[in-house]
Structure 1
Amino acid sequence: GYMPPWPASDVGVPLQHSMALDQSEIDAVVAWADAGGPLDVDPATPIANSVEPAVSIRPDVELTLAEPYVGSTDVRNDYRCFVVDPGFTEPTAISGYEFVPDKDEILHHALAFRVDKTSAEKLRRSDADDDGSGWTCAAGAGMGVGALGGGGGSPTTGTYSQQFMAWAPGQVPTQFPEGSGLQFAPGDVVMLQIHYHFVHETPPDQSTLVLQRADGTPDELDPIEYSLYLAPAEIPCTPDETGPLCDRDAELARLNGEFGPVGALIANGLHAMCGTSVDELAVLDGTQASASCDHRVGRPGEILGIFGHMHELGVHYRMTLNPDTPDEQVLLDIPAWDFGWQLNYQPTDQVILERGDVIRVECTWDRALMAGEPKWVTWSEGTEDEMCYSAITTRRIR
């Protein structure tokens, strides 16, 4: 058994399903530890979980990779895409989902996209042209969706797609409120993009996406929408660090070689989107760097889920609605970032996004957490790179 943490602070709006311990519970654990952690049962006693999970869904549709994927340690950051077909022959709505990693020790993240019937054929051709399960897909599979593209195509595939899931370690199932659903048309498929991080081993992975059907037809339900809100990342070497990759241009060239042109373009493109510059952000406070970006809301609706994502140098994350105004609300504050616990958070009280509202995302990183060769760290897809990635799931109010 394990005790999951609750990364979010109480600075933001109240959140559902809190796993935070109150002070009396913390005091009890500390007193037990100070006493040497004595056991009042036989150490061989099986641990039984007496608490039902806060969120669970019906496994109405289980989409498992058709064949296990086996990578290579020669490609440490391996991006692999897979088509999984739910087999919908009539308009269908989904009221919940869960990504179930088969080998979570090698999975950095997974994204899921709904892809229309016509575009699905392009994906299947990509799969057929690549040896093994799935196909190699360049970095940035979702960057054309949400805040960067308004809900259109994916530059990785050239297809029409809609991202609806971002999984990272620590997540639990997602369930949408009654009367809402993610809409699928007949023939729609799901494209999974899985980022494998191979360091020492490459065990075969055959992960699964579980879907729960909604009660009712799509035209009876409020649509579910998903938007991205991003900020740049510029974390230069400290004055005490030296090495060829401490030069930003050299690091961008390395990213271009590892991930293709998108690997370097995103780092610069985010500055254009956010109105920032490299010189402005490449300023360290000791070993820490920070970035923020303000976005206008393009998809209004009721907030159902809030997700923030950084990599292993992250130390603080925050998302704020209408900052620096009398209506300011901190939607999510994570003061001690932990890559192993990246949750989707749901507000307890209704929060409505209006068109034109401002979402600010802020991230702080610490180079003191970095291992390996010194380098300039910027936004890119590798586990050793960084991100300031955010997503909001909304229910469109009709």
Structure 2
Amino acid sequence: MINRIDPDVTLQADAPYQGSTKLTNDYRCLVMDPELKTDTSLTGYEFVPDKNEFVHHALIFRMAADLRPTVDARDKADPGTGYGCFGGVGADEVVPSPSGMGGGTDLVAAWAPGQSSGTFPDGSGMRLNQGDFFVVQVHYHFVHAAPPDHSELALRFGKDPVDDYDDIAVTQYLAPAEIPCRPDEQGPLCDRDAMMDDLADRYGSSAPVIADGLNGMCGGTPEMNANVDEDGMSYSSCDHWALGTGQVVSVFGHMHELGVGFRLTLNPDTPDEKILLDIDRWDFNWQLNYEPADEVVIKPGDIVRAECSWDRDLINPQTEPRWVSWAEGTEDEMCYSALTTREQHWTGTEQPPDGPEIEPGLIDPITLEADSPEAAD
């Protein structure tokens, strides 16, 4: 793949990562350091997968310089390039919240098949401080082979003083995934508790915490949110207080292979409703960052609704029937979105009110954190 930006630096892990087909869904955190000597602003980026057919998705995190010793210790303790990191980057028990912010980590971008480079609007960028570095969490899906991978992260920096740039923030908005077996499907993994035990065996103790936590945060339980109709269709939604405010730069949606439809809506069911992204024919291999056609500004107190739909008929009929829930395996599901916003300079009567107190049934996305990931037995 040819970079679509003119990068100032192209980073790789110290050596290629060698996975194994013994771990089909492999989450690996790769440390990439631009060795920043001064504060700067990130104005463009591109994740370039080396073995594209084996990279399911990647999350790029900016890491504060003071997290480097704990990341290095985690890296050193895990044989091979990088370290295992299902559920989060795992820096000193810091697990990124669903907002993508907090604990010294910030989400920079999400990559999935179909993505290319990303550039921020002129005069804006993501602030990087001296010593900051990147951890790229790569989800590898190894089925029949596991070739060594040496993916790249290309970065472009602003030429002007960092304070001259409007700040860019990337936040995440999630919804549960609870897709039960249909009445005519039977098997031990159609029981959700058994399926949760299976997730814990495969991915570690954080897997059930994430799935259960999303249900609780969205004002329900797995039983309340579980649904599948006679056609095998299942649906989920969740309303969040907007955490990233300012002008919308881009919107990204992500599901797995059962996905059918994705929608992200600002201030739903109000006179100010705006559909930010509506994908009614989901294609896993065509996941893009979409830019709004018209200017959209998110203010404190706004609400963002994430909605996803799935089709059980897309499950491989040769596999054992099972309840499908939120988890990070390709055969599991997600309802994930990333919203990129540009800092807004409010003046005069444009100044918005402070955000409201959190009310029952709505989510402050920064609060959910899973346990520090542990290796599965």
Q: Shorter-chain TM-score: which interval? A: 0.7 to 0.9
Write the distance in 2 (CA, Å) between the matches of 1:302 and 1:144.
27
Deviation at 1:138, TM superposition (A): 2.5
Matched, 1:321 2:266: yes
After superposition, the C-alpha distances for 1:172-231 in whole angstroms (9 at most, x for unaligned) are 111101110111111111001101000000011000010111131221111110111000
Q: Rg: which structure is higher?
A: 1
Write the distance in 1 (CA, Å) between the matches of 2:229 and 2:190.
17
Write the distance in 2 (CA, Å) between the matches of 1:139 and 1:357.
28
Please say if residues 99 and 171 of structure 2, whose CA atoms lie closer than 8 Å, have aligned partners that are also in contact: no
Deviation at 1:120, TM superposition (A): 1.2
Give the SS at the match of 2:289.
coil
Match of 2:297 in 1: 352
Write the distance in 2 (CA, Å) between the matches of 1:282 and 1:149.
24
Count of matched residue pairs: 338
Give the SS at the match of 2:197.
helix
Matched, 1:80 2:28: yes
After superposition, the C-alpha distances for 1:325-382 in whole angstroms (9 at most, x for unaligned) are 1111111110111111110111122110001101111100001000111110000111
Match of 1:393 in 2: 340
Q: 210-219 or 227-236, which moves further after superposition?
A: 210-219
Matched, 1:373 2:320: yes
Write the distance in 2 (CA, Å) between the matches of 1:389 and 1:191.
20
Write the distance in 1 (CA, Å) between the matches of 2:172 and 2:220.
18
Match of 1:230 in 2: 174
TM-score, normalised to structure 1's length?
A: 0.82
Deviation at 1:390, TM superposition (A): 0.6
Write the distance in 2 (CA, Å) between the matches of 1:175 and 1:393.
11
- After superposition, residues 135-146 of structure 1 pair within 5 angstroms as 135-141=83-89, 144-145=95-96
Q: 198-207 or 130-139, which moves further after superposition?
A: 130-139
Please say if residues 99 and 243 of structure 2, whose CA atoms lie closer than 8 Å, have aligned partners that are also in contact: no
**Structure 1 residue corresponding to 2:221, chosen from 266, 273, 277:** 277
- After superposition, residues 153-172 of structure 1 pair within 5 angstroms as 153=103, 160-172=104-116
Q: Kindly tell me: are residues 193 and 299 of structure 1, through their superposed partners in 2, closer, same or farther at Cα, counting changes over 3 Å? A: same
Q: Which amino acid aligns with 2:209?
A: L
Match of 2:139 in 1: 195
Deviation at 1:125, TM superposition (A): 1.4
Write the distance in 2 (CA, Å) between the matches of 1:249 and 1:150.
28
Q: Which amino acid aligns with 1:354?
A: K
Write the distance in 1 (CA, Å) between the matches of 2:243 and 2:36.
29
Structure 1 gap ranges (5+): 1-52, 154-159
After superposition, the C-alpha distances for 1:81-135 in whole angstroms (9 at most, x for unaligned) are 1111101100111101010000011011111111111101211111111111111
Match of 2:361 in 1: none
Q: Which amino acid aligns with 1:171?
A: Q
Displaced runs of 4+ in structure 1, greater than 3 A? 140-146
Structure 2 gap ranges (5+): 346-377
Write the distance in 2 (CA, Å) between the matches of 1:140 and 1:379.
15
Give the SS at the match of 1:256.
helix
